[in-house]
Structure 1
Amino acid sequence: MTNNKLTTSWGAPVGDNQNSITAGGRGPTLIQDVHLLEKLAHFNRERVPERVVHAKGAGAHGYFEVTNDVSNYTKASLFSKVGKRTPLFVRFSTVAGELGSADTVRDPRGFSIKFYTEEGNYDIVGNNTPVFFIRDAIKFPDFIHTQKRDPQTHLKNPTAVWDFWSLSPESLHQVSILMSDRGIPATLRHMHGFGSHTFKWTNAEGDGVWIKYHFKTEQGIKNLSPDVAAQIAGENPDYHTEDLFNAIEKGDFPAWKLYVQIMPLEDADTYRFDPFDVTKVWSQKDYPLIEVGRMVLNRNPENYFAEVEQATFSPGTLVPGVDVSPDKMLQGRLFAYHDAHRYRVGANHQALPINRARNEVKNYQRDGQMRFDGNGGKSVYYEPNSFGGPTESPEDKQAAYPVTGVAESVAYDHHDHYTQAGDLYRLMTEEQRAHLVANIVGAMKPVTKEEIKLRQIGHFYKADPEYGTRVAEGLGLSVPEEVK
């Protein structure tokens, strides 16, 4: 038998390429997973110099104003009192395309916000969808490779896309959203935004809750049909960028209401879906939306490169009162995003004007390429020291949570990838279902291997028999008997 073992870049065999090593089933992810770190670090360096993902984007300045008192849940200063305003910068983007790609393609939209608070910057780095295709960061480079260009033809490869999705059934929920009418927003102003991951809020007393962020557009949801989107892509590939700029320029300031879902910490152990699995949502019947505030975009960039292109975001850019969860996808992003920025923009990307905190930064980081400030001057450059340098503040540590288990590569306990995707399908009107099926059929027809089509049809059928049957009929195939 031919040895076809997957190996690391240094030739060692890889024992598990599907699950990162965590401390117990819920993590957190361990830095000892050298395969994960090598995989992510190499992936971040695959393109020069544009972003590996989210290359095409548009941005704007604005503010966030608190409209509801949530200080019982978090001590974060930007949420501290009704009426408080915090300046911010937002970048919207498509995920898979290059810098010159069209705005109106079917793709998730990045929805990233940098809040300039008095306690440092806080980034919410999400999408216009509440879930994602995968739930472990170790699979992210492979997933994005399928969205990029084939190494031989240099063309997009539908066979690779659907092969990966059909072999990763956790993607079904997000695929169903992407292929629905919401897969192509009419403008960047007419879509919702989500933090997607579960985060932890901690109040001044040290009490915590799990939360999810929802930004609801005040402009209403509007989408484009595939035909109109294709026409616009040919006539004006920068349509979304232009629309956002022109709306702000004429004073039609787009706005979103921020809501959170709040889950008591103890519910995480009993909820019917793992609340840290980013391929799942929390039912709003179980955890209703609670209003927090309002985001308004009211100023365009003066220079696209300096502000939009050099803006760097990371879910690891946190402030006191906001902590992370054991979400395996989030845990990987905490490393990968900052690492990508160090590679793409430079070790001192945080010091650039668009990324610089509005409060004074005090640390012992020195030197690096393009250090353009005072580099700490002659101040003490190590810690601990006897010369009055800045010291740690224990009250600002991230909140603790218990960890148990064996350090190993572990999958999520829950493997129901079908209920929520089926619920989404059943919530749709007949017109929306017809659009969804037509979009899927059109996207899957170029797939060259029938086995892949049948495997994916099986996933649709398990979500809802009608869903799978209609896709199969559209492709001129039958639902596999073993699925029925």
Structure 2
Amino acid sequence: MTTPDPKDEQLETYRAPDPASGPLTTDQAVDVDHTDDSLTAGDRGPTLMEDFHAREKITHFDHERIPERVVHARGSGAYGYFEPYESCADFTRAAFLQEPGKRTPVFVRFSTVQGPRGSADTVRDVRGFATKFYTEDGNYDLVGNNFPVFFIQDGIKFPDFVHAVKPEPQNEIPTGASAHDTFWDFVSLQPETLHAVMWLMSDRAIPRSFRMMQGFGVHTFRFVDADGKGTFVKFHWKPKLGVHSMVWDEAQECQGRDPDFNRRDLWDAIEAGDYPEWELGVQLVPEEDEFAFAFDLLDPTKIIPEEQVPVRPIGRMVLDRNPENFFAETEQVAFHTANIVPGVDFTNDPLLQARNFSYLDTQLIRLGGPNFSEIPVNRPVADVRNNQRDGYHQSTIHRGTNYFPNSLGGGCPAPAGADSEAFTHYAERVDGAKIRRRSESFKDYYSQPALFWNSMSDWEKQHIVAAFRFELGKVETPEVRARTIEQLAHVDGQLAREVAEGIGVPAPPDGTQTASKQSSPALSLQSLTGDGSIRTRKIAVPVADGADARQVASIREALEPEGAIVEVLAATDGTVASADGEPLEVDRALPTVASVLYDAVVLPGNTADTSPLTVDPDALRFVRDAYRHGKPVAALGNGVDVLAALEPEGIHLSMEPHRTVTDQGVITDVAPGPASAEFARALAAAVAAHRHWGRPAPRC
């Protein structure tokens, strides 16, 4: 029996009635018999002010928009639940982490950072990953990103950083991008940004899907157990489907083909019942080991390498319900780093301290006042009892006294006793002179960017160099380009030289060395492939008249039970005539889609001597793009002709019937008839691996 979700029960109180349950009404529940024409004096006379329905309708419309978020404006959200694997009582008293399998409702919002609400999903940017846990002890917000590090160390620099990365003030260009002068001017003058910039230039900044994206708490937080003992903690969200990204070329095309690509992907997966799942892991550091590292544990521009402190899985999160109204829920949800519960506490991270002020201040102006916690998506499932009253948007009807201490209300609500489960701040001795000075322990700016670079595979390094060249190539000020190369030379000399060669500035001398020889394999995408599932992967099957319907059917039969989505594409919508003369249903017309919207391509055979797709420019472009973006490409029968037409030098194709050949994610079998079990297994394995780099470029 499914346990009722307390958040569902709470939201039911606020849901509007079913529109089909009665006639249209005004806000005061007065029935309306006509809403197409204003009240006028005669057929062509002036509109009358007494038309209260028209005035109410237009007034609402005029005030529909609230200020969008300064950062993280473009977002997508979903509801779900979190459940721990085991009791975490040995390091925290947080109630939602005590009972294995106990489900805590959550709302998660994913977002980009730089662009406005109308920008595209697939820009190169940090992605927000914010989770609201509706716990029995109140709301807990884990407000993170898909990078484990931030661009600055102290919150006082946050306005400067955001102003620099936002569009240029004179022309409001570019939208949703960091490839411009002010951002790189800031980076070149603030070396603390370099670690996050390395992540930004990697493929981590262009995720294939929110469902295939890691999340991190960024800061070092503190767990507190029942005895008041503290443990430092770093939070990690790891997607079950693995961590997969786009390449820059397809991300740019996707912005035109489907600017809502990531938003649509999340929504469609949940609607189809393919619920995305993440594992929550923690890195735990005993307080006595605070200074055991070569970096400062409180520095938000640093990670703890997993080889030094392994990530301990403690639970899983599943998102299983889409919002019913984007504005009411996804747009009005208010996250705040200071929303914590007993068992979780802060550290003295200077960026975290600033966020604890900034988030609340932002919500006050964006959501119209201090009662934003009254909005259904923000309301705790636990009872709220306090003496806060009135103000804009107060929806609770309070009774009784509104002060403490009192006797008229029986002394209630009263503070919980000292021996209760109430929140108590972690007892930590703090003393020192009032100063404006960064700790010396924060001033190693280059070792961890070098650690990240050293951890990348060859193809990841190539993508990072290309990203730097693209971004800095958009910078119009030569001095900014040159200064950035000087900073990169402190990270790794070879990286700086390769970038410099592409942007026309002097390269550093060959003797420049890397800032660190260390590496962390856990940072490479090659180590984050997931559970081997092909669930929700989209497979394109381009066809023309004469297509072998048996092969198309066998592809479906092999992949769809594994959770993949197979779509037949053709020059036009409707049907094509299959090899046996029967109509073959077409899911989408080739001119309306592109390979960037799919994870793999399979080319079935055709009754013609040579596949008609070899002379179809749309089909050839589709297959060529999938091939050069490293995606699995497969062919059966004379569908191999299409691959041969691309002349991929060095790729082995099947030449003998009933012999499946697999080479760098290219799977071929020239045999007629349905796909063999060997072919199906090879195709599924190639799709599960996501991308296949190192292929030779196609000649055509």
Normalization by structure 1: what TM-score? 0.88
Q: Which residue of 2 aligns with 1:186?
A: 208
Deviations 1:115-149 (A, max 9, x none): 00000000000000100101111011111111212
Q: Which has the higher contact order (CA 8 A, sep 6+)?
A: 1
1:441 corresponds to which letter in structure 2? R
Determine the C-alpha separation between the residues in 1 that align with 2:229 and 2:415.
21
Q: Is the 8 A contact 1:212 1:262 kept in 2?
A: yes
Aligned to 1:391: 414
Tell me the amino acid that sits aligned with residue 113 of structure 1: T
> What residue identity is the alignment partner of 1:470?
E
How far apart, in 1, do the equivalents of 2:129 and 2:511 lie? 37
Task: State whether structure 2 residue 505 is matched by structure 1 residue 477.
Answer: yes
Please name the residue that 2:461 is paired with.
433
Structure 2 CA distance, aligned partners of 1:380 and 1:149? 50
Partner residue of 1:459 out of 471, 487, 498: 487
Question: What is residue 280 of structure 1 aligned with on the other side?
Answer: 302
Tell me if the contact between 1:277 and 1:412 (Cα under 8 Å) persists in the aligned partners: no
Alignment correspondent of 1:235: 257
SS in 2 for 1:121: strand
From 88, 92, 97, the counterpart of 1:70: 88
2:473 corresponds to which residue? 445
The correspondence of residues 169-184 of structure 1 with structure 2, limited to 5 A, is: 169-184=191-206
2:319 is matched with which residue? Answer: 297
2:165 aligned partner: 147
CA shift for structure 1 position 482: 13
Contact 1:441 1:474 in 2 (8 A): yes
Structure 1 residue 483: Cα displacement: 10
Q: Could you tell me which residue of structure 2 aligns to residue 353 of structure 1? A: 376
Shift, 1:48, TM fit:
6.0
- Tell me, yes or no, if structure 1 residue 365 matches structure 2 residue 392: no
> 1:286 Cα shift?
2.0
Displacement after TM superposition at 1:338 (Å) = 1.1
The answer for the alignment partner of 1:27 in structure 2 is none
Q: What is the alpha-carbon distance in structure 2 between the residues aligned to residue 82 and residue 48 of structure 1?
A: 41
Aligned length in residues: 436
Q: Does the 8 Å contact 1:64/1:88 carry over to 2?
A: yes
Residue aligning to 1:104: 122
2-side partners of 1:95 and 1:433: how far apart?
24
Tell me, yes or no, if structure 1 residue 135 matches structure 2 residue 153: yes
1:177-326 aligned at under 5 Å gives the runs 177-326=199-348
8 Å contact 1:454–1:480 — kept in the other structure? no
Q: Structure 1: which amino acid aligns with 2:371? A: N
Q: 2:133 is aligned with what amino acid?
A: F
Q: 1:381 aligns with which of 374, 398, 402?
A: 402
Q: Note if contact 1:461-1:483 (Cα within 8 Å) is conserved in structure 2.
A: no
Alignment check: 8 A CA contact 1:462 1:483 kept: no
Contact map agreement 2:112 2:127 (CA 8 A) in 1: yes
How far, CA to CA, are the matches of 1:438 and 1:483 in structure 2? 23
In structure 2, give the amino acid aligned to 1:92: F
Which of the pair has more CA radius of gyration?
2
Secondary structure of 2:269's counterpart equals: helix
Contact 2:493 2:511 (C-alpha < 8 Å) held by counterparts: no
Q: Deviations over 1:28-68 (max 9, x none)?
A: xxxxxxxxxxxxxxxxxxx9611111010000000001013
- 1 CA distance for matches of 2:355 and 2:405? 30
- Counterpart-to-counterpart distance in 2, 1:315 and 1:475: 40
Q: What letter matches 1:352 in structure 2?
A: I
Partner of 2:234, secondary structure, is strand
In the alignment, the residues of structure 2 paired with residue 51 and residue 432 of structure 1 have an alpha-carbon distance, to the nearest angstrom, of 32
Please say which of residues 359-368 and 454-463 is displaced more in the overlay. 454-463
CA distance in structure 1 between the partners assigned to 2:302 and 2:423 by the alignment: 31
Other-structure match for 1:35:
none
Give 1:480 shift: 4.8
Distance in structure 2 (CA, Å) of the matches to 1:63 and 1:331: 28
CA contact (8 A) 2:493 2:508 kept: no
Structure 1 residue 479 displacement after superposition: 3.3
After superposition, what is the alpha-carbon deviation per residue over 1:298-323, rounded to whole angstroms, capped at 9, x for unaligned?
00111111110000001100100000
**Contact 2:497 2:508 survives alignment (8 Å):** no
Partners of 1:413 and 1:282 lie apart in 2 by: 18
Q: Are the equivalent residues in 2 in contact too, given 1:461–1:468 (CA < 8 A)? A: yes
Please report how far the alpha carbon of residue 109 of structure 1 lies from its aligned counterpart in structure 2 after TM superposition.
0.4
Which of the numbers 377, 400, 408 marks the counterpart of 2:435? 408
Amino acid at match of 1:150: E
1:315-342 per-position Cα deviation (integer Å, ceiling 9, x unaligned)? 1001000000101010000011011111
Q: Does 156-165 or 170-179 show the bigger shift? A: 156-165
Task: Tell me the alpha carbon deviations over residues 176-223 of structure 1, each in whole angstroms, 9 at most, x when there is no partner.
Answer: 011111110011111100111110000001111000000001011111
Q: Secondary structure at the match of 2:211?
A: coil
Gaps of 5+ in 2: 1-64, 513-700
| Deviation for aligned residue 1:288 | 1.1
Give how far 1:447 is off.
1.4
Find the aligned partners of 1:81 and 1:410 in 2 and give their Cα distance: 44
Aligned equivalents of 2:331, 2:81: Cα separation in 1: 20
Which of 61, 66, 86 in structure 1 is aligned with 2:79? 61
- Whether the 8 Å CA contact 1:94–1:110 is kept in 2: the answer is yes
**Among the aligned pairs, what percent are the same residue?**
45
Deviations 1:74-125 (A, max 9, x none): 0001101211110110000000110100000000100000000000000000
TM-score, length of structure 2 as denominator length:
0.61
Q: In 1, Cα distance between the equivalents of 2:507 and 2:433?
A: 41
* Deviates most, 281-290 or 250-259: 281-290
Please tell me whether the aligned partners of residues 64 and 296 of structure 1 are also in contact (alpha carbons under 8 angstroms): yes
Q: 1:359 to 1:48 in 2, by over 3 A?
A: closer
Any conservation in 1 of the 2:212–2:243 contact (CA below 8 Å)?
A: yes
Q: Aligned-pair distance for 1:269?
A: 2.9
Distance 1:136 1:90 in 2: 26
